[in-house]
Amino acid sequence: MQYAPANAMSQPAYDVICVPNVMIPLRDGVLLATDLYFPAHGCDRVAGTYPCLLIRTPYDRTGSRGSGEFYARRGYVFASQDVRGRFASEGDFYGFKNEGPDGYDTVEWLAAQPWCNGKVGTLGSSYCAAVQSALAALNPPHLAAMIVQFGPSSYYHSAMRHNGALEQRFLVYAFSMAASSKEARRDPGLAKVFNEATQHVWDYLKEGPIRKGTTPLRLLPLAEQWALDLQEHVCYDEHWQAPGWGGRPYYDEQADVPTLYVGGWYDTYTRSTAEDFVALHGRRQAPVHLLYGPWTHGGVGVPEAGDLSFAPEGGVRYEQDVRLPWFDQWIKGMDLGLAAAPPVRYFLMGSGTSPAPTGKTIPFGIGWRESSSWPPENTVATPFYFHADGSLQDTAPQEAESSTIYVHDPSQPVPTIGGNLSAMPLPAGGFDQRGDTRFPGGTPGLPLAARADVLCFQTEPLAEEVEITGPVSVRLFVSSTAPDTDFTAKLIAVLPPSPGYPGGAAINLTDSIGRLRFREGYETEKLGVPGQVYELSFELYPTACRFAQGQRIRVDIASSNYPRFDVNPNTGGNLATERVRRTAENTLHHDATRPSCILLPVKRL
């Protein structure tokens, strides 16, 4: 998959000169360290003006040297900048807080330089994507194009928190950022403390919420406060609505420039990528495109995710095949055909006609598809209902009363086995859903389906192919002996026995979690009445997969997915400070008046 023929794009016609550590001034007087890469002939910078590309990062600007040289050779000036308070930049670092105005000032400073033609594009992944949405919310006049890769629409709704639950990787992130802080780099003793803490971070987190002054984060008060704020702001309040926390509140104000949103089926921002595209495509005059690959957060362009292989088509030379043609088209004005191209490209997963796995790796790639919309045309949200016998059917249950009860013990959570992970020592991607030494918790080799606290609902072997592409959600009717608890949902492809998997394999496609106290929205908390039945609806991540004939569609319902998400203590207490945990009996109802189901985006073939 590539956006344009290689010979139609900018060619490497220049040498490169790097001017390091240029200190760019901000409106409050803080200076940000920036390395500038220029087109050159030999040791002389080439005269004239050029478009500029900008990446802003908290992870050391010097790590972008490869990209800087790549674009400078092709007639761009490339700027790589340390964000406020990181590495060589001045100021104090509090993640995401200042990225809107700091990014705006940087774009405008670059555009005003005599070597810039006034056009500035931005690029970057994860934090480096969030900073793009933050500056775009302030609409800098000289912003010309963006590629937002693996970035948030709202850190509250589907990143740091998911439907009210806390994604614990961001507490891991707080420790790792402390270990690479300016203070730790100046003080070897402090660095040793934080490096050791990062290695044992799960030991801290399994004890429950971080408390002020009880972890090594206390040695960096601003880093500790960032982690405490993450825990304490459990509702969608003003804290989460500043520009740095995602573009959702600013879609109407966001800069109207050509923007490509890049996601991965096993990335941590899969849902956010679609939300940004859906909100802005058609809302903007400039083109807004969407690209979904079968990738993990750290593996853009790599044709593997966990134990799944998408080779050869899932592999992409990301710099050459995606980013360069986008900027050539929309910043340099080269006609590469993108103006007429379908705005959506996505990779369809599935075993289909691929050979059965003979080893640990499972071939799981169908190929690239295009669409004029997301979800694609001819996609219908189709309910598949849970039945008392464990079946998953497209017909609703008829029983007057039917339910399944299980015990949720917070001290024995269901372990995370793959999925949409990042910034934690757990491999992301698709895996057979059984205990695995690569993941903490659980019993090696024991299928998660064998646990008493996991409810499995699956179809009969499919008589014909079923393709699902688009958003996935569940509508659950639940009750509990606790005033607050969680319910998780995981969509799984069940593959028949093969030489590599003689017992078959259950491959995770997408999942998420819902917290009962947020069943009526995320602005306020509302505890439940024990024993009362409530409707709890929430979104999983979108996906694209073709289920082959003979495979099964399965949905697992549980009440924990640890350590990806924090474990609900079941007490109804303050989520940021609760130390007590209680066992709860949770009930999933599946009868005629309370038909719990999953809504799958079935694409009519």
For the stretch 21-41, pLDDT in tens is: 999 999 999 999 999 999 999
Instruction: Indicate if the pLDDT at residue 243 is higher than 50.
Output: yes
User: Per-residue pLDDT averaged across 292-318, rounded?
Assistant: 95
Amino acid identity of 243?
A: P
Q: What is the pLDDT of residue 208?
A: 87
Share of the chain above pLDDT 90, in %: 91
Return the pLDDT at 352: 57
> For 552-579, how does the pLDDT look when each residue is reduced to its tens digit (9 = 90+)?
999 999 999 999 999 999 999 999 999 9
pLDDT value at residue 424: 66
pLDDT at 339 over 90: yes
Q: Is the pLDDT of residue 81 over 90?
A: yes
Half-sphere exposure of 398 (CA within 13 A, CB side): 1
Instruction: Give the 3-state secondary structure of residue 296.
Output: strand
Q: The dihedral of CA 59, 63, 66, 69: what is its sign? A: positive
- One DSSP character per residue, 202-247 reads HHHHTTSS--TTSSGGGGSHHHHHHHHHHHH--SS-GGGGSGGG-S
Give Rg (Cα) of the chain: 24
User: Side by side, which strands form the sheet with 486-495?
Assistant: 455-458, 552-558, 486-495, 505-515
Query: What is the CA angle 441-235-232, rounded to 5?
Result: 65
Closest-CA residue to 166 (of 477, 565, 594)? 565
Residue 118: pLDDT above 80?
yes
Per DSSP bridges, beta strands 161-162 and 165-166 are antiparallel
pLDDT at 206: 87
Helices (H), 419-483: none
Angle at which helices 169-179 and 221-232 cross, to 10°: 170
Q: How far apart are CA 392 and CA 390, in angstroms?
A: 7
User: Looking at residue 205, what is its pLDDT?
Assistant: 86
Q: Which residue has the higher pLDDT, 6 or 100?
A: 100
Q: What is the mean pLDDT of the chain?
A: 95
Distance CA 352, CA 465 (A): 8
pLDDT of 24 reads 98
CB 425 within 8 A of CB 380: no
Amino acid at 523: E
pLDDT-derived band of residue 354, with 50, 70 and 90 as boundaries? very low
Query: Smallest Cα–Cα separation from 554: which of 507, 589, 514?
Result: 507
Evaluate whether 601 touches 375 at the Cβ level (below 8 Å): yes
Per-residue pLDDT band at 356 (split at 50, 70, 90): low
Report d(CA 371, CA 536) in Å as an integer: 32
Concatenated DSSP letters for 327-351? HHHHTS----SGGGS-SEEEEEE--
Work out whether strand 597-603 and strand 486-495 pair parallel, antiparallel, or are unpaired: unpaired
- Is a pLDDT exceeding 70 seen at residue 357? no
Mean pLDDT, range 4-14, rounded to an integer: 92
Say what the alpha-carbon torsion angle 42, 44, 47, 52 is, to the nearest 10 degrees: 80
- Sequence-distant (6+) residues with CB within 8 A of 340 are none
Average pLDDT over residues 416-432: 89
- 60 CB contacts (<8 Å, ≥6 apart)? 82, 86, 87, 180
The pLDDT value given to residue 7: 87
pLDDT at 523 over 60: yes
272 three-class SS: helix
Tell whether the model's pLDDT for residue 358 goes beyond 80: no
Q: Which of 68, 66, 33, 31 is nearest to 52 (CA)?
A: 68
Distance between CA atoms of 506 and 593, rounded to whole angstroms? 31
pLDDT category of residue 422 using cuts at 50, 70 and 90: confident
Residue 587, exposed/middle/buried by CB under 10 A (0-12, 13-18, 19+)? middle
Query: Distance between CA atoms of 326 and 334, rounded to whole angstroms?
Result: 10
Beta bridge partners of 602: 380, 468
pLDDT of residue 423: 64
Token reading at 334: 């080269």
Q: Is the pTM of this model over 0.95?
A: yes
* pLDDT at res. 351: 83
Spatial distance between the Cα atoms of 588 and 293, rounded to a whole number of angstroms: 34
What pLDDT digit, counting tens, does each position of 167-178 carry? Answer: 999 999 999 999
- Angle CA(504)–CA(455)–CA(548) in degrees, nearest 5? 35
What's the count of helices (H) and strands (E) in the chain, helices before strands?
12, 29
The DSSP element (H or E) to which 103 belongs, if any, is: helix 99-111
| 126-137 average pLDDT score | 97
Residue position matching structure tokens 């989520």:
575
Contact 540, 474 (CB under 8 A): yes
Both structure tokens of 260: 């490509």
Q: Does pLDDT of 200 surpass 90?
A: no
Residue at 463: amino acid letter: A
Interior angle at CA 516, CA 512 and CA 522, nearest 5 = 80
CB 243 within 8 A of CB 134: yes
The CA-atom distances, in angstroms, between 335 and each of 4, 8, 118, 327, 338 are: 10, 9, 20, 11, 7
Does position 160 have pLDDT exceeding 80, yes or no?
A: yes
Q: Is the pLDDT of residue 51 over 90?
A: yes
CA gap 542, 532 in Å, rounded: 31
Rounded distance, CA 456 to CA 341, Å? 42
